[in-house]
Amino acid sequence: MNFTLLIVVLLTAIALVSIALGIATAISPRSYNLQKPEPYECGVPTRGNSWMQFRVGYYLFAILFLMFDVETVFLFPWAVIVRDLGRAGLTVILFFLIILILGLAYAWRKGALAWK
Number of H helices, E strands in the chain: 3, 0
CB distance 116 to 57 below 8 Å: yes
- C-alpha–C-alpha distance, residues 100 and 94, integer Å: 10
Q: For the chain, where are the E strands, in sequence order? A: none
CA-CA distance, 105 to 72, in Å (whole number)? 18
Sequence ranges of the domains in the chain: 60-111
pLDDT in tens, the chain (116 residues): 688 999 999 999 999 999 999 999 999 887 777 777 676 666 666 676 666 777 777 888 888 889 889 888 989 988 898 888 889 889 999 999 999 999 889 988 988 788 77
The rounded distance, in Å, linking the Cα atoms of 48 and 51 is: 9
